Amino acid sequence: MSTAIVLMNLGTPAQPTPSAVRDFLRDFLSDPRVVEIPRPLWLTILNGLILPFRPKRIAPAYAEIWNCSADDAQVEGSPLLYYTRHQAQLLQKHLKDKGRDIAVEYAMTYGEPRLDKVIEGLRSKGYESFVVFPLYPQYSATTTAAIYDQVAQIFRKSRDIPDISLVRDYYHNPLYIKSLANSVREHWQKHGQAEKLMLSFHGIPKANVDKGDPYLRHCQETARLLAEELQISPERWQVTFQSRFGKAEWLQPYTDKTLIEWGKGGIKSVDVICPAFSADCLETLEEISVENRANFIEAGGSEYHYIPALNLRADHIEALAAVVEDKLPGPK
């Protein structure tokens, strides 16, 4: 039985323009997994207050990061799309070098390329077994579960459902943790160690965790394992949460407020890593690397370094291969 892997990430606007950003946000924010406010109320807010104005505000931020990277890669277009596409290529090569001739494609939960079209194309080539691999180390209903929903919807009316499996999470995978640690060590070798290491994870509403989402626990365990691998004391590092949206309480402490507190409190140097992001994107290249750098410096800090996402690192690709290995047919 021929097997294909489909790597999945969140998605990106097709272009850094208000119209393209509007299309992306409409798709993204219409998903009940992303926003759990009752549909009639939320769709009124989305279509009446958010989509007419927000795309114009954030399109310039997308324009700033277009063709940009934090790790010297020669990016073309959307960084998220660039890295995900090349991760698929490198993972396929890595598996082939290990004797596994397996196709690896990529898709986005929102925007292009869409999962249904990618699977349709693979099935037309004769592939009968699929591993869908969300590139979210820490599981959340807002991200990974949305992909489960898409898989179910794709085959809801199909009589001939292929053999299909999904990777749920890999927040504690040893090779993933080691890759994160290696990226931090390499940064320290070049720049020295800052006073604080901030582990900034993407936030979700606190209410989601109160209802049973395991994301917070997964983030905390990733952070604990990374600190243990780096052998740094508890006072040297802290978990924070970024990218909150709306007025509801999200997971705390907040990244931006913590950096301001640190700057005002006399902390002069900070290193920031974002372990929940498998690839650099708007939230890392603009929000963390630019916006929050400014917050920290303005509050009194002196040195601020963003440590790039794992992106195309060889040890990252090796970690992805180790994670997906358990889902592949044949000898392990």
What sign does the dihedral 89-93-95-101 (CA atoms) show? positive
Compute the distance between CA of residue 216 and CA of residue 141 in angstroms, rounded to an integer. 12
The b-or-e profile of 106-137 (16+ CB within 10 A means b, else e) is bbbbbbebbbeebbeebeeeebebbbbbbbbb
φ, ψ (nearest 5 deg) of residue 292: -75, -25
Nearest to 7 by CA among 142, 125, 102, 123: 102
Q: 107 pairs with which residues across the strands?
A: 8
According to the annotation, is 325 in a ligand binding site? no
Residue 172 annotated as part of some ligand binding site: no
Long-range contacts of 99-103 (CB under 8 A, 24+ apart): 100/328, 100/330, 102/3, 102/4, 102/5, 102/328, 103/2, 103/3, 103/4, 103/5, 103/127
- Residue type (1 letter), 189: Q
Kindly report whether the peptide bond that precedes residue 113 is cis, defined as omega within 30 degrees of 0. Answer: yes
- Token couple for 72: 């010297």
**Phi-psi bin for 272: left (phi > 0), alpha (psi -120 to 50), beta?**
beta
CA 136 to chain centre: 6
What residues form the annotated binding site? Answer: 202, 283
What residues form the annotated binding site for Fe(2+)? Answer: 202, 283
